[in-house]
Structure 1
Amino acid sequence: MIRPRLTMTLAALAMVASASLAIAHGDEDHGAAATPVGLSVAPRMEAATETLELVAAAKADDLTIWIDGFADNVPVTGATVSVTVDGKTGPAKAANGFYTYSDGGLENPGPHELSFLVSNDGAFESLSGTLTVPKAAADTTAAMPIWRWLLIAALVALVLAGAWHWRARRLGAAGLAVLIGALLFFGIPVGPAPVAAHGDEDHGASPGAPTGSGEAAVKTADGKLFGPKSVQRIIGVRTVLAAAGEAQPNTSLTGKIVADPKRGGLIQSATGGRVTAPASRLPIIGQAVRAGQVLAFVEPPLQAIDRATLARESSDLDQQIALAANSSARLRRLEGVVPRRQIEEAGITLAGLQRRRAALAQARSAREVLVSPIDGVIGLSNVRVGQVVSAETTLFEIVDRSRLYVEANLFDRRALAAGAKAVGKTADGTTFDLVFEGAGLIDRGRAAPALFRVVGVPANLRIGEPITIEAPLGGTVAGVIVPRAALLSSANGTPSVFVKTHAELFEQRSVKSSPVDASRVALLSNVKPGEHVVTAGAELLGQVR
């Protein structure tokens, strides 16, 4: 019983020992391009100059070439490209934003020296690199010589004949062991067929590694993001070279144009009544006026009872004036007979009655005169001839166009120095300079009122027009200045940015930031000057898993 078991064990060991080994080439060096960890991609190379970045990928004898701006990653699509592969030169064809070139030599495994001459807008750039095509897996099933097959057949026939003649199991088992040993001696595999892996094929030894054709964005095993150029074109990835510097943090405020309180005026009626026009007619909006110029009259209204009272008083005064006039005339004729004092008293009484009558007549026809307090322009007119207005109604507003202010709400508690310069912007994009005059101490909806003086007033500014203000706050901030669009918000609320470390490799980094203005931020950590920070397409890159 021991010998049969031993024989079977030897046979099994022989079969296992004769099995072929699997060979993989996925981790070979693919030239100058950064090889993503844990991914199998088409052979590729990358090269860059101060202005251009180039990536070339090979598939069989076809070479696909992507050319972008080095700093901003903007595709270069209208260039003339000359390609040299292992000393053979030819023109590349432009197709859908990239370039193609064919060379049969690219199918040969091993390194290939590539160089590119790019002509764009009259400028020439030369780029070069090495593209390595991986070798094919070794073929372990090569055909054997015919004499080996004949020898094997003879051995098999000999073993079967002996087993039939003696009908002995031990001899059959021994013959089987001899046959397997002979097969191993002559190098003939008796186990399963060999498994080879290469390039984009399945590598059975690493089932947990991500796989892909190299044309899909995917996270790599080391946590980076592989984004091939074809995907970058689709999602519109753009970058900017991070620049170190100091910037003044700004805040964005909203406000409105107001007139200079020292050089503006409101014209209101104190009594109310019916509006009448002066000889020069009522002024219109936009008309220039002078200080002291009559703008309008307001006739006070009289009720029926008031008119009756005035009429009765007028009649009484007229009667008294007539009697006083007769008495004064009679006494003057008797001058020298009557005392001088009586004559003077009669004259004084008559003069007093006449003044009362004149005042009463003026009261019936009195008009309120509205005059301009300053030189300026009529900015508001709420009056028509014959209109009846009430007391304290604003009829005209006069402004000095050369002196305007912006009143804004200041929510930020950081200091805004007096005299600080700011920039105002209207809804249609008109910009103008502002100077901070001061801020109030009274809270107004969790904000303090702030006043800015307009410098060099544009001709089209209007009183009450909404304005956006960019004003400096606090001290300067030192860091890497990038556009605000580069910032992403992580799931935990921490800001982050994508940094392009190679032509097709990205890293997402958590950063600390400080606002500079409405369109820029300063990165205070984890990004160095000169690195490529993604400004467009970052949100889509963040969704790659």
Structure 2
Amino acid sequence: MKSPLAAIPGAAILTLFLALVLALGSGFARAHEGHSHGDEAPAAPVATAPRGASSSSALELVAVARNGALTVFIDRHDTNEPVTDAVVRAEMPDGAATAEAMPDGSYRLDAHWSERPGEHEVLFEVARGGESEIFPVTLTVEAGAAPGPAGGFAAWSAGLAVAHDFRRHIAEADPLPLLIGGSGFVLGIAATLLMRGRGRGPALAVLVTATVLLAGNAALGAETPTPPGAFLAAAPAPSQDLARRMADGSVFVPKPTQRVLTVRTLVTASDMLGRTSELPGRIIADPNGSGVVQSSVGGRLSPPPSGLFPRLGSRVEKGEVLAYVTPPVQAVDMSDMRQRQGELDQQIAIVERRVERFRKLAPGGAVSLVQLDEAQAELKGLTDRRTALDNIRLQPEALTAPVSGVIAEANAVAGQMASPGVQVFQIVDPARLWVEALSFNARVGTRDATARLADGQVLRLRYMGAGLADRSQAVPIQFAVENPPSELRTGQFVTVLATTEASQQGLALPRTSVVRGSNGQSIVYEHTAPEQFQPRQVQVEPLDAARVLVVFGIGPGKRVVTQGAELLNQIR
């Protein structure tokens, strides 16, 4: 049987195969000539609206042009607080105008001239508190920055970028394996079609189609590669500016975003500041403003006359009855009591008859009045002893509040047996609380200190005294809390920052200014421009509960973010 391949001219097959080889080879060669493996395509630039800024020693002004209008933001230079009560006038290319105050604290001006490309000079006059300042601003409007249709163009640009990336990855591959595999695959399809009797037409069509496609890919690869960012760069600017981190590590934050994040700054100043020592501590009750209620004898607890035990957090006054303790009477004690009661009853009966007889004889002088008085006194004593013996079983012990304050701890349950010396109630005056800290350095100063709670709240402390006996190789130091907050509780752990005698030159910054960088280094953000923040690595030491001492990394006279630094650190 004659092979179907014999029906195809050998010259035709050879020609198609050579064309396939040349197409693949030229495409890979030219693609590699126009591409560098070490260079990546540049990222698409982030568009921002045209803007200009100007500042003085007191204020800073930022003007942003968008959609034919000019939005003006005015903030204090040192603190970055918005200025919302100023009168803003502007000399613009189309004439003078007065800005309209907006609800968000900005000022708005109609500026249709801002839609024309070029540099535009604007002179602002800001009047506030009887004083005015001049701020010259230059706005540069780039060609093609005006808003336009973005739907189809953006999708087309993104599609071209994806296609370019696909061709680039293909071009980066090793051409020899792909050339051999592709050639064998295409020729195998043609041979299969011929052996199955499909005719020479489909086989030739497959070979011709593959050759044309590979030749087109070679021609496409021979062109100069177009970076994907070239199309996206012409995309229209967004409707609002976005905060982002720049290539040099600085952070660009538009003024509207700064106001949403409540970014505040201060100007650093160098000073001689005392060193501090961090001590572990906890909240305790003032010994003179607290008390413990205990039973002196064992017995059964019962409620006070009100019928209810005082609950936690309730206010009690000094001397108020909080509970009763009824001591139990044992069987042996009951027998002794009955015997003693019988003896007393017998003695009382004898003395009563004596007193009655003396009363009859005293008027006649047979018995002196002294004898009568002695007999009556003896009778009264016996009666009191008998009454006290009866009350032992009936009279419980009253537990009273030793001081006025709030019930901090209660362990009372009706019918519960209370042991002698066991705490039943603890009373604390919330306005008189102390902090007890442990210091492993005996040279810690005895001046006032501060304490910081777990939630960052700061407490002012007044030094009360230090112990002479070590406790776990540490010196206990006690401080009184000045104006303690109502939510403070005994037993809470705090960090006490006590001032030492040593001092050091440095800058004082709030603790909220210092954040952790990606490498764990402490950094602060310097406000270098109205909308620019630069991270600075610093070395800090504790100063007090609310501030830190910056000993290295930034100098005086710099504007440092004090509020919102943690949010700036999250911008990527």
Which interval holds the TM-score relative to the shorter structure? 0.5 to 0.7
Match of 1:435 among 460, 463, 483: 463
Is 1:525 the counterpart of 2:555 in the alignment? no
Match of 1:524, SS state, is strand
Partner of 1:472: 498
Question: Are the equivalent residues in 2 in contact too, given 1:513–1:523 (CA < 8 A)?
Answer: yes
Q: Is the 8 A contact 1:405 1:451 kept in 2?
A: no
Q: In the alignment, is the contact (CA less than 8 A) between 2:507 and 2:551 conserved in 1?
A: yes
Larger radius of gyration between Structure 1 and Structure 2: 1
Distance 2:459 2:476 in 1: 21
Letter in structure 1 aligned against 2:55: A
* Distance in 1 separating the partners of 2:571 and 2:452: 40
- CA distance in 2 between partners of 1:277 and 1:85 (Å): 84
Alpha-carbon deviation of 1:303?
2.4
Q: 1:530 to 1:125 in 2, by over 3 A?
A: farther
Alpha-carbon distance in structure 2 between the residues aligned to 1:411 and 1:134: 64
- Residues 170-209 of structure 1: CA deviation (Å, up to 9, x unaligned): xxxxxxxxxxxxxxxxxxxxxxxxxxxxxxx9699xx9xx
**Are the equivalent residues in 2 in contact too, given 1:422–1:435 (CA < 8 A)?**
no
Aligned to 2:13: none
Corresponding letter in the other structure for 1:244: S
2:434 maps to 1:406: yes
Match of 2:512 among 479, 485, 488: 485
Which has the higher mean CA deviation after the structures are superposed, 101-110 or 237-246? 101-110
2:458 & 2:554 partners in 1: Cα distance? Answer: 35
**Structure 1 residue 237, shift from structure 2 partner:** 3.3
Aligned to 2:62: 55
CA offset at residue 515 of structure 1? Answer: 2.3
Residues 491, 303 of structure 1: alpha-carbon distance in 2 compared, 3 angstrom cutoff: same
Q: Which residue of 2 aligns with 1:497?
A: 524
Q: Provide the C-alpha distance between the structure 1 equivalents of 2:556 and 2:101, rounded to a whole number of angstroms.
A: 34
CA RMSD of aligned residues (A): 5.8
The C-alpha deviation readout for 1:31-82, integer Å capped at 9, x for no partner, is xxxxxxx998665432212332112345797544322221222333453211
Give the counterpart letter for 1:131 in structure 2. Answer: T
Partner of 1:242: 268
The equivalent of 1:227 in structure 2 is: 253
Checking the alignment, whether the CA contact within 8 Å between 1:415 and 1:473 is kept in structure 2 is no
Q: Kindly tell me: are residues 378 and 304 of structure 1, through their superposed partners in 2, closer, same or farther at Cα, counting changes over 3 Å?
A: farther
Q: Distance in 1 between matches of 2:57 and 2:318?
A: 60
Give per-residue Cα distances to partners, 1:481-538, cap 9 Å, x unaligned: 2222222211221011111212223211111112223332222222222212123443
Corresponding residue for 1:303?
330
| 1:391 aligned to which of 393, 414, 420 | 420
Give the corresponding residue for 1:19. Answer: none
User: 1:508: which partner in 2?
Assistant: 535
Structure 2 distance, partners of 1:398, 1:364, is 34
Q: Mark the CA change 1:465 to 1:410 in structure 2 (over 3 Å): closer, same or farther.
A: closer
Q: Deviations over 1:263-313 (max 9, x none)?
A: 8765644443478999xxxx99744459xxx99997754323432345457
**Structure 1 residues 530 and 253, CA gap change in structure 2 (3 angstroms):** same
Q: Once the two structures are superposed, what CA deviation does each residue of 1:405-430 show, in whole Å capped at 9, x if it has no partner?
A: 52435477685433545579999x99
Q: Which segments of 5 or more consecutive residues in structure 1 lack a partner in the other structure? A: 1-37, 138-200, 324-354
Report if the CA contact (8 A) 1:277-1:296 is conserved: yes
User: Residue 74 of structure 1: which of 72, 81, 90 is its match?
Assistant: 81
Match of 1:102 among 95, 102, 111: 111
Aligned to 1:542: 569
1:114 and 2:122 correspond: yes
Deviates more, 1:361-370 or 1:409-418: 361-370
What percentage of aligned pairs have identical amino acids?
27
Question: How do 1:285-364 residues align onto structure 2 when only pairs under 5 Å count?
Answer: 286-288=316-318, 300-312=327-339
TM-score, structure 1 as length reference:
0.53
Q: For residue 366 of structure 2, what is the aligned residue in structure 1?
A: none
User: What's the TM-score, normalizing by structure 2?
Assistant: 0.51
Larger fraction in helix? 2
- Using the alignment, how far apart are the partners of 1:104 and 1:94 within structure 2? 21
Greater shift, 513-522 or 85-94, is seen at 85-94
8 A Cα contact 1:406 1:452, kept in partner:
yes
Residue 196 of structure 1 corresponds to: none
CA–CA separation in structure 2 for the residues paired with 1:61 and 1:462: 56
Secondary structure in 1 aligned to 2:562? Answer: strand
- For residue 88 of structure 1, report the CA deviation from its aligned partner: 3.9
* 1:215 is the counterpart of 2:224: no
Aligned CA distance change for structure 1 residues 288 and 212 (closer, same or farther; 3 Å): same
Counterparts in 2 of 1:356 and 1:384: CA distance versus 1, 3 Å: farther
